[in-house]
Chains A and B, each alone.
Chain A
Amino acid sequence: MSLTTSRTDWRAGIERRLTRTREFVDDADPEALAVVIASMGSLLTAFVGFLLASPWTAVPLGAFLIATGYGWVRHQALVARAVTFAMTTVTLVTLGLIVVFIFAESIPAFRYEAASVFGVSVPGLGMFAQTRWDAVSDPVRYSLLPMIHGTVMVTAIATLVAGPLGVAAALFIAEIAPPRVRELVKPGIEILAGIPSIVYGFIGFTVINPWASDAFALNGGSTYLFVGMVVGLMALPTVVSVAEDALTSVPDVMKNGSLALGATDWQSMTSITLPAAFSGVSAAVLLGVGRAIGETMAATVMLAGIPRISDPLVNVFYGYETLTSLIARGYGSANGVHESALFAAGVVLFVTVLCLSLGSQYIEARMRRRLGGAE
């Protein structure tokens, strides 16, 4: 029943769109339409030519520029609409290209690391079923587990730093700070986001690592503990700004109601604002986790670069390798299956962070609906 209605809906939708397109085509000036079609057609051709790495790409690109330029003078409204539409598709196309190219490059590594389960060969399983990564000496294996362990260690410590501090700072900016102080603290935290990660890494490499080596009598100064703390500091601004947005989006009437009942500021925060903005705040922490997972340069510079799992597992005083630092360190000197394995690490990173992003977007959308009163 519901299936048939949805199908008829779908058909009606297409029909409606067709009619609308036909009307639009009938209304539009035929010359303008021709120009737009020429412009968009040559843009598409140029894109296909670029994909095929054809040296002739410049020809359709030139045609696009000429057609668009002519159309801009004669039929600006329609051309502007078509061009902005083409620009809108760029984000979708980019995301699609990232997926296609990274996955395509990682296929040889997944093939190489196939392992059989119950007689069925599963490509890529070998990356997660054993712990040896050695691209040079026999047996050459590409397990990602050591790097995943490193990423988990760094991300866990970073989240412990960025989560509570970030939420506290967001509460301060959104609820506690007097206006003048807020105008000082907010840009400050924005600037913290601007400090380049390689500068953090440089300070870590020249100051923190030697200090840690000395203060804890380590073999070398690389530790997940301090890399995690530095990465947490880098993820902090993301948590603060997203959480602050969530907190300020709680309607003032809710807080005022609580204050009018005689509750203290802190009571209103913990029992009204935070629960109402809970999903937004957790989305902020999720995004912060995503930033921490993807943070590259500080980890690359501060870690030792040995693909090994620390023993015991939770030993924060070792610092071996993360997924990101593996790629940054290894790319360039790697080739063949080794390079492909680096792309496989990229696939793991990309999929993880994309899932976190989708999760936080879902949570935020739900919160917006709820605060809007629809649920």
Chain B
Amino acid sequence: MSRATQTALVRDDRTTYEAAAGAAVGLSGVAFVVGLAALVGAVEIGDPVAGVELSVALGAVLLALGLAVVGFGVASRLGFVDAAPQPSAGVVAAVAFTAIWFAAGVTAAGAAGIGTVGRLGVGTVLGGGAFAVTALPREDVGSTVPAGAVAVLCGLALVTGVVGPGWERALAGYNATLFGDTVVPAVVLFASLATGWSAAKAYGGFGARGRNVGAYVLIYLVVGSILAVLVGLVAFVTAKGLPGLLNGVGVGGETLVRWPFLTNGAGLLADVAGVFPALVGTVWLVIGAVLFAVPTGVGAAVFLSEYAEQGRFTGAVEVATNGLWSTPSIVFGLFGAAFLIPRFGNQKSLIAGMLTLGFMLLPLVLITSREAILAVPDEYRDASAALGVSKWQTIRSVVLPAAIPGVTTGVILGVGRIAGETAPILLTMGGGVLPAKSAAPNVLSGFRLSASPPFVSNPALLEATSALPYQLYALITAGLSGNIRNPQEYAWGLALTLLLVVLAFYAVGIATRYYFRRKLHQ
């Protein structure tokens, strides 16, 4: 705070500096995007750009960025611009740059053919140097010089062609080889991150504000990449799966809409192989799991939040619920295989799959229902009790209706999660790789009464049945081949169907939440 007296309130001489730093951030972003494109193969690092190879051009950009970043730091240190740096760049930055320069030293020494001890030595010297440069001088130098030097080093390696197209290095003992095609983009990504952060700090004038800007740039980048991955994944699966999914779709004819991929089995006779049995299997699976888990979970939530006294019992239930929530799905599968299968005819069956998924769904329903019931204001209960309404009547006609939005949302999202589960049904439900249409379970008309125990039976529930995620797994383990015309296209169509089923549940769940929330705030 003592600096406040020395610093002018309005810094009018910084506009050029800020513009330059902002441009450096933008250029780093461009380099990052181009590096990413090169990594996924959208562009080749050998492509000509302005008369030189792309990798050389990128190297030149990194070189310029590195020098610019060092320039920002030096300009601030020499007092040409009015920044507000702190005495040191801080421990976090120092440790990060130590690690980076240690790694750079080890790699460079390894490339030069120095032995293990020598490599560690070079790494230690460079890492120590980076620590000293980062931690000891004022912040404006400490957070620019090491970052800029990294970029300069990387840029030099690319410009001089030490690393470039056609470069390769076998990693002795690792059974892998590094090629320029992957190393150059990785180097560009890394160096542009360093310069981008450093330039963002310079843009903010170092100090608290500079750190703010630098951190925000990184966080926005992280969130942007997560969303990009999400959109990319969905778009990729859609693009790959649409030909299979829409194969033979038409309007008119015997039925109103023909969609053979969804209404056919995968037999030899079908003109278009479809996923009907697996789709029906997934539907029944979800219905069975919901019938078991939702009443149980909601009832338990009611008891826990309305009847039970907070004590050892509720604590134990809570711990058990959270424990069940984090139990791996394959362990549920093992449990179903050991517990349910011997009790339902000693073979993989639809009902074993239903109950296994029901056990998985139970903690999700319980946790969300309990939150929803606890969120109902106590005034509601008090008002009802003041009218002389009994406790159960209050729960039934006041608490539960008020909690229904939360419960519904939780159930739908939970169902979306278990509809895509593969591991539990792999062990308990099985089914064929390419089931024919006749393999679709016919649960409703399958119930049989008999005079001997167990009195009620349903063969459809006791048979191994396919479901969408299981069929995808079975196709992959069969090497994406089978007695159908185009197994690759079929598998992608199947993946897209599964994704759409699950995402539909999520979309409905999220939409329900919005609907009820807006209704609540009206």
Residues of A within 8 A of B (CB): 50, 53, 55-59, 62, 76-77, 80-81, 83-85, 87-88, 90-92, 94-95, 97-98, 101-102, 104-105, 164-165, 168-169, 171-172, 176-177, 185, 187-199, 201-203, 205-207, 211, 215-219, 233, 236, 263-267, 287, 290-291, 293-297, 300-301, 311-312, 315, 317-318, 324, 327-328, 331-332, 342-343, 346, 349-350, 353-354, 356-358, 361
CB neighbours of B473 from chain A (8 A): 198, 201, 297, 300-301
Residue of B nearest to A352 (CB): B328
Q: Knowing A53-B343, A264-B212 are in contact, say whether A87-B303 is a contact too (CB < 8 A).
A: yes
A195 touches B308 (CB 8 A): no
Q: Return A181 CB to nearest CB of chain B, in Å.
A: 9
**Which B285-324 residues have C-beta < 8 A from chain A?**
295-297, 299-300, 302-304, 307-308, 316-317, 319-324
A91 touches B173 (CB 8 A): no
Complex: A116 Cα to B33 Cα, angstroms: 59
Binds A, one of B72-80, B127-135, B272-280, B419-427: B419-427
CB neighbours of B416 from chain A (8 A): 194
CB neighbours of B155 from chain A (8 A): none
CB neighbours of A219 from chain B (8 A): 175
Residue of A nearest to B296 (CB): A87
Complex: A57 Cα to B343 Cα, angstroms: 11
CB neighbours of A324 from chain B (8 A): 328, 330, 423
Q: Return B144 CB to nearest CB of chain A, in Å.
A: 18
Partner of B330, one of A87, A328, A332, A356: A328
CB neighbours of B396 from chain A (8 A): 80
Residue of B nearest to A184 (CB): B227
- Subset of 18 A-B contacts with CB under 8 Å: A59-B455, A83-B299, A85-B307, A87-B295, A98-B331, A169-B222, A172-B220, A194-B503, A196-B419, A266-B216, A267-B212, A297-B469, A301-B473, A311-B173, A315-B173, A328-B330, A356-B326, A357-B322
A353 touches B422 (CB 8 A): no
Q: Knowing A196-B421, A201-B476 are in contact, say whether A265-B212 is a contact too (CB < 8 A).
A: yes
A217 touches B420 (CB 8 A): no
CB neighbours of B366 from chain A (8 A): 91
Binds A, one of B8-16, B117-125, B187-195, B334-342: B334-342
CB neighbours of A55 from chain B (8 A): 452-454
CB neighbours of B328 from chain A (8 A): 290, 293-296, 324, 349-350, 353
A194 touches B472 (CB 8 A): no
B323 touches A188 (CB 8 A): no
Q: Knowing A76-B392, A172-B223, A317-B171 are in contact, say whether A88-B326 is a contact too (CB < 8 A).
A: no
Q: Knowing A81-B303, A176-B216, A328-B426 are in contact, say whether A343-B338 is a contact too (CB < 8 A).
A: yes
**CB < 8 Å A-B pair total:** 288
Q: Knowing A77-B392, A294-B329 are in contact, say whether A84-B420 is a contact too (CB < 8 A).
A: no
A189 touches B226 (CB 8 A): yes
B303 touches A88 (CB 8 A): yes
- Interface residues of B toward A: which range? 35 or more
B 504-515 binary contact with A (CB < 8 Å = 1; else 0): 011000100000
B335 touches A101 (CB 8 A): yes
B330 touches A91 (CB 8 A): no
Q: Return B421 CB to nearest CB of chain A, in Å.
A: 7
A199 touches B506 (CB 8 A): no
A92 touches B334 (CB 8 A): no
Q: Return B498 CB to nearest CB of chain A, in Å.
A: 6
Complex: A368 Cα to B316 Cα, angstroms: 18
Q: Knowing A198-B420, A203-B233 are in contact, say whether A102-B453 is a contact too (CB < 8 A).
A: no
CB neighbours of B498 from chain A (8 A): 196, 198-199
Complex: A92 Cα to B320 Cα, angstroms: 6
Residue of B nearest to A263 (CB): B208
Asked whether any CB of chain A lies closer than 8 Å to the CB of B486, the reply is no
Q: Return A69 CB to nearest CB of chain B, in Å.
A: 14
Q: Return B478 CB to nearest CB of chain A, in Å.
A: 12
CB neighbours of A172 from chain B (8 A): 219-220, 222-223
Asked whether any CB of chain A lies closer than 8 Å to the CB of B456, the reply is yes
Complex: A94 Cα to B362 Cα, angstroms: 10
B 330-364 binary contact with A (CB < 8 Å = 1; else 0): 11111101110011000000000000000100110
Residue of A nearest to B318 (CB): A361
CB neighbours of B262 from chain A (8 A): none
Q: Return A365 CB to nearest CB of chain B, in Å.
A: 10
Q: Knowing A56-B453, A265-B212 are in contact, say whether A349-B299 is a contact too (CB < 8 A).
A: no
Partner of A327, one of B302, B303, B334, B499: B334
B335 touches A97 (CB 8 A): yes
Complex: A191 Cα to B413 Cα, angstroms: 9
Binds A, one of B62-70, B176-184, B253-261, B431-439: B176-184
Q: Return A180 CB to nearest CB of chain B, in Å.
A: 13
Q: Counting chain B CB atoms within 10 Å of each CB, which of A236, A346, A353 scores highest? A: A346
Q: Return A98 CB to nearest CB of chain B, in Å.
A: 5
CB neighbours of B453 from chain A (8 A): 55-56, 58-59
A84 touches B299 (CB 8 A): yes
Asked whether any CB of chain A lies closer than 8 Å to the CB of B481, the reply is no
Partner of A91, one of B177, B226, B320, B506: B320
Q: Return A315 CB to nearest CB of chain B, in Å.
A: 5
